[in-house]
Structure 1
Amino acid sequence: MKLCFFNEGRFGVVEGDLVKDVSSVLDRLPNFRPPLPRFDPVIAALPELLPAIRDAAAAATGVPLASVRLLPPVGNPGKVVAAPVNYVAHLDEAIAEPETFSAAHVRKIQESGLFLKATSSIIGVQDPVTLRFPDRRNDHEIELVAIIGKAGTNISEADALDHVAGYTLGLDMTLRGPEERSFRKSIDSYTVLGPWLVTADEFGDPADVEIFLEVNGEHRQKARTKDLILSVRALIAFASSFYTLQPGDVLMTGTPEGVGPVRPGDTIRAGVERIGTVEVSVTGA
């Protein structure tokens, strides 16, 4: 099942070229008072909501997908956890370009660990990436993204995928420079998610999925997730050895080789197998 938020916060199911509005299902969510939860209420309740979502979608009249504005598929993530340099060829690329990739940040992922991005950097695929510092190099990074569905800490690799609600496409936009990685990657609009969440049961095993990215029609990145240094399972286990993962947490799994600059006026076309293909515009501040 493909789940999305669209227009002014409507909740929908994507079926082919249509969106079925199932927002009424959200009336089943609990009303929270402070202290507010650290998780996303929709993702946390998804296992219980899915039967009602299916019923509502079956009864709904769809509207054309092209007529709606898609929002990020997770409304309230507690954290964005990201994997640096998690493809072998990208590690080699980074080592070979010290003028672009700071040596302090080019280490094996097992040594450098993961990093966090500000949730305020998240946008949907129909919003533009706005370059805050267009005079500096700003790079694209296409990634498969896992959305955590069940809380856990010290999760084993064997159990890791049981904690995934679904998957989406992600762009981890990056400002190059001497600042800390999470600081440069947390600029407003520098985490693009969408176009929807594909539930884990429909998506299947993430171990061998193709991802690609083009800029203005020029091929830049293409790889399969079988080439990850740490697999999705291993990343969940690694992250949960430091953090308690909560429903709605976003796990960006890393980008392959071919990382390159974008400039105002560019169009990024990116795709993830089993999810879809999107076009994202780039503007200046």
Structure 2
Amino acid sequence: MKLCRFNDDRLGLVEDGSVIDVSDALSALPALPACAYPLPCHDILIAGLADVRERIEQLRSDARIPLSDVTLLSPVANPGKLVAAPVNYQAHLDETVADPVTFSREHVRRIQETGLFLKATSSLVGAGATIDIHHPDRRTDHEIELAVVIGQRCKDVAPADALSVIAGYTIGLDITIRGPEERSLRKSLDTYSVLGPWLVTADEFGDPVGRDLVLTVDGEPRQTANTRDLILDVPALIAFASSYYTLHPGDVLFTGTPEGVGPIKPGERITASIGGIGEMQVDVVAR
């Protein structure tokens, strides 16, 4: 099942290039009292996804909206955290080592040494938004990644059990200012975390190994890779992350970008695709 959020927080089922509005399925979620405090630290749609999917099956209709007529939001509205894996493809590690001018030496280490990092949730947008360039005097790069959405509360997950805690998958763009500062700062600017175009549920997506990733800028190929080349694969990353953090429904794991990262500037268009998910186009603009 492919699920999107669109327009004014509507819920959509994506089929054959169109959207079926299934927002009434949200009534299957446990009601939250208005303005109640404290609110949960997870995404309630992802936490209640099984019930919502059951309701969606009852709401299928012939009324469809062309995808071109909707504005796509992030498929996850309220992730508790965005967890990201640095330098998780060997060829990307090789290119960072070969370019000390662009990639600060303190950030060029294997993922097992560096660990993971967090991106601010305030940086999150969907495919219908734009990437707004901050600090135009500095180099800002594109990074395509397979993004994994956690479906249940979990801690210390064994690699053999890791795929069972996943709600679904989506495309992630981890936009990055180059420089000596910590990754969490340089990657957490507004609009610098893009998820989209929709969430593909784990059962439909299947095995995350062997998925092609392609990113172009104005039609120019920049990044082409396959998830089989991840240094730490998806189960290993979930095990790694959950050994440090309790993961909650809606938490997003950016699994790392392959070689070919490069600069972007206002006026350009990024096209990103991952096998089994689809394609999204995002425009780059001046802030």
Amino acid at match of 2:285: T
Pair 1:49 & 2:52 matched: yes
Corresponding residue for residue 123 of structure 2: 121
1:8-23 alignment, distance < 5 Å: 8-23=8-23
Pair 1:40 & 2:43 matched: yes
Amino acid at match of 2:27: D
How many Å separate the matches in 1 of 2:212 and 2:218?
20
| Cα distance, 1:31 vs structure 2 | 2.8
Amino acid at match of 1:278: M
What secondary structure, in the 3-state scheme, does the structure 2 residue paired with 1:24 have?
A: helix
With the length of structure 1 as denominator, give the TM-score of the two structures: 0.98
Deviations 1:239-272 (A, max 9, x none): 0000000000010000000000001111111111
Gaps in structure 1 of 5+ consecutive residues: none
1:120-139 alignment, distance < 5 Å: 120-139=122-141
Amino acid at match of 1:163: V
Corresponding residue for residue 210 of structure 1: 212
Corresponding residue for residue 239 of structure 1: 241
What secondary structure, in the 3-state scheme, does the structure 1 residue paired with 2:204 have?
A: helix
| Off by >4 Å, runs of 4+ in structure 1 | none
1:142-181 alignment, distance < 5 Å: 142-181=144-183
Q: Is the 8 A contact 1:21 1:60 kept in 2?
A: no
| Cα distance, 1:3 vs structure 2 | 0.2
1:262-273 alignment, distance < 5 Å: 262-273=264-275
Alignment partner of 2:63 out of 44, 61, 70: 61
What secondary structure, in the 3-state scheme, does the structure 2 residue paired with 1:59 have?
A: coil
What secondary structure, in the 3-state scheme, does the structure 2 residue paired with 1:158 have?
A: helix
What secondary structure, in the 3-state scheme, does the structure 1 residue paired with 2:48 have?
A: helix
Q: Is the 8 A contact 1:212 1:221 kept in 2?
A: yes
How many Å separate the matches in 1 of 2:262 and 2:281?
17
Pair 1:112 & 2:97 matched: no
Amino acid at match of 1:7: N
Q: Indicate the RMSD between aligned Cα atoms, in angstroms.
A: 0.9
Alignment partner of 2:225 out of 207, 223, 226: 223
Amino acid at match of 1:18: S
Q: Is the 8 A contact 2:28 2:55 kept in 1?
A: no
| Cα distance, 1:48 vs structure 2 | 2.1
Corresponding residue for residue 82 of structure 1: 84
How many Å separate the matches in 2 of 1:264 and 1:62?
33
Deviations 1:95-122 (A, max 9, x none): 1111111110111101110000000001
Q: Is the 8 A contact 2:124 2:191 kept in 1?
A: yes
Equivalent pairs, count: 284
Amino acid at match of 2:151: G
Amino acid at match of 1:16: D
Q: Is the 8 A contact 2:4 2:73 kept in 1?
A: yes
| Cα distance, 1:28 vs structure 2 | 2.3
Corresponding residue for residue 3 of structure 2: 3
With the length of structure 2 as denominator, give the TM-score of the two structures: 0.97
| Cα distance, 1:60 vs structure 2 | 5.2
Identical residues among aligned pairs (%)? 58
Q: Is the 8 A contact 2:84 2:256 kept in 1?
A: yes
What secondary structure, in the 3-state scheme, does the structure 1 residue paired with 2:238 have?
A: helix
Q: Is the 8 A contact 1:170 1:193 kept in 2?
A: yes
Gaps in structure 2 of 5+ consecutive residues: none
How many Å separate the matches in 2 of 1:206 and 1:113?
21
Q: Is the 8 A contact 1:134 1:264 kept in 2?
A: no
What secondary structure, in the 3-state scheme, does the structure 2 residue paired with 1:263 have?
A: coil
How many Å separate the matches in 2 of 1:13 and 1:154?
33
How many Å separate the matches in 2 of 1:6 and 1:257?
32
Amino acid at match of 2:6: F
